[in-house]
């Protein structure tokens, strides 16, 4: 299938390109490089032998999108493009709503005008807010989100549901990701955050490579096995492959579907520090710091629906996630730059 991948030079997008190409799909990428580097596409080419077709530009640019749909005629869109820093979204809400919501609306209008009505959207476990219990199923209540970033995910889910309700010829798959980490096995591709990382694993990786001094553990008084926050970390290559399976599903015209992409296992911050310490061969220093506002204690998926309906499940454990992240970080201490 020919697929337009928005945000395809980013962390999850670039790994998904590899899996799509290896599964025999044709990919076209649009990205404005606001949080990524086009070098990731060279790495995709190195791994797969195929250079993705790339349009550098913004998904809010309707003329660019119509031009891409006209020239490339993709049959489906995988929509990754968006801003994703939770803290920044609270200080720059307008930028987040404009980029994520207006960007998605512009994309959907161009899709409608071009007759492409198949979309897979990158949503997040953040839409569940603080879950009443774990593991989290897709039919759990959504909506009590504490930050503008999360609200953009929720709003886009609602927009897509409304579009489907008005016109059943659309096929919409909402993928709710848990915590993607790790890197491609080759060590050529991985996560490349700008500045000081917001998320735990890239932060640990920067401590491991000597660019940051120690890890701050945000709270050790949560109601969890060791008091630190528990999350469902998923290898980015497993997550990427989930998109290949979602694309197969979309070709069956499934209507509207929602799937969690997670492993079903929860690990604490301290467990992740230990796993990464093992991968890099030294004990990484950490200090216990205050809780981070908005954080919840435990979040992990029930991934049974994706297994049943997509035939997908995560295969890689935290050891492999940390080893692969470490290979990428130690081979590329300054990322793609
Ligand atoms: P990323 O920042 O690495 O990738 C996003 C890409 O979108 C970047 O390459 C960026 O340059 C591009 N982009 C942003 N705004 C754009 C615009 N207006 N026009 C064109 N390109 C634009 O992030 P990622 O981790 O790969 O995440 C991909 C998607 O998955 C995002 O929508 C994110 O919100 C979602 N998600 C990520 C996580 C996570 O923890 N990484 C968890 C849940 C959901
Ligand atoms: N943490 C630390 N120190 C750090 C960073 C994080 O102790 O320097 C802790 C957090 O308190 C939390 C855990 O590590 O307990 C994971 O934090 P992350 O920031 O890595 O991930 P979150 O679960 O908070 O959020 C991520 C994405 C969101 C997404 C959410 C659910 O950043 O965009 O997963 O998918 F919405």
Residues 179-228: tens digit of each pLDDT: 999 999 999 999 999 999 999 999 999 999 999 999 999 999 999 999 99
Query: Is residue 80 within 6 Å of ligand 1 at its C-beta?
Result: yes
Residue corresponding to tokens 């409304």 = 162
For ligand 2, atom 26: residue with the closest CA: 179
Phi and psi, residue 312, nearest 5°: -120, 140
Enumerate residues 6+ apart whose C-beta is below 8 A from 41. 8, 9, 14, 17, 29, 51, 52, 54
**pLDDT for the residue 265:** 98
For ligand 1, atom 27: residue with the closest CA: 12
Residue to probe by mutation, ligand 1, list 9, 11, 16, 105, most atoms within 8 Å of CB: 11
Regions of the chain short of the pLDDT cut 50: none
What's the rounded Cα separation, in Å, for the pair 324 and 318?
Answer: 10
Q: Which residues line ligand 2 (CB under 6 A)?
A: 84, 86, 124-126, 177-179, 198-200, 203, 216-218, 229, 231, 269, 292, 295
Asked whether the whole model's pTM tops 0.95, one would answer: yes
Note the ligand closest to the C-alpha atom of 104.
1
Cα–Cα nearest to 310, from 245, 253, 241, 219 = 245
Q: Is 336 a catalytic residue?
A: no
**pLDDT for the residue 146:** 87
Q: Which entry of 149, 233, 267, 300 is annotated as an active-site residue?
A: 149
58 CA distance to ligand 2 middle (Å) = 27
């Amino acid at each position: 299938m020919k697929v337009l991948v928005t945000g395809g030079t980013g962390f999850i997008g670039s790994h998904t390109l590899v899996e799509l190409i290896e599964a025999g799909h044709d990919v076209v990428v649009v990205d404005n490089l606001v949080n990524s580097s086009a070098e990731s596409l060279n790495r995709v080419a190195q791994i797969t032998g195929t250079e993705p077709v790339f349009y550098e530009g913004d998904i809010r640019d309707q003329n660019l999108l119509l031009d891409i749909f006209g020239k490339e005629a993709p049959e489906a869109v995988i929509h990754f493009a968006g801003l994703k820093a939770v803290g920044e979204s609270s200080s720059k809400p307008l930028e987040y709503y404009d980029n994520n919501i207006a960007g998605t609306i512009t994309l959907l209008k161009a899709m409608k005008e071009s007759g492409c009505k198949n979309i897979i959207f990158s949503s997040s476990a953040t839409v569940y807010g603080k879950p009443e219990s774990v593991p989290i199923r897709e039919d759990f209540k959504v909506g009590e989100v504490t930050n503008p970033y999360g609200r953009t995910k929720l709003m886009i889910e609602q927009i897509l549901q409304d579009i489907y309700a008005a016109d059943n010829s659309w096929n919409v798959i909402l993928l709710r990701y848990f915590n993607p980490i790790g890197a491609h096995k080759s060590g050529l591709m991985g996560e490349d955050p700008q500045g000081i990382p917001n998320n735990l694993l890239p932060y640990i990786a920067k401590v491991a490579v000597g660019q940051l001094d120690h890890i701050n553990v945000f709270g050790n008084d949560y109601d969890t096995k060791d008091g630190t926050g528990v999350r469902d970390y998923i290898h980015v290559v497993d997550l990427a492959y989930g998109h290949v399976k979602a694309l197969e599903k979309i070709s069956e015209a499934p209507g509207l579907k929602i799937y969690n992409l997670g492993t079903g296992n929860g690990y604490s911050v301290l467990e992740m520090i230990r796993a990464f310490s093992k991968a890099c061969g030294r004990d990484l220093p950490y200090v216990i710091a205050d809780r981070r506002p908005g954080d919840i204690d435990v979040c992990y998926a029930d991934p049974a629906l994706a297994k049943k309906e997509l035939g997908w499940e995560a295969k890689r454990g935290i050891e492999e996630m940390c080893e692969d992240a470490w290979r990428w970080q130690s081979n590329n201490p300054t990322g793609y730059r």
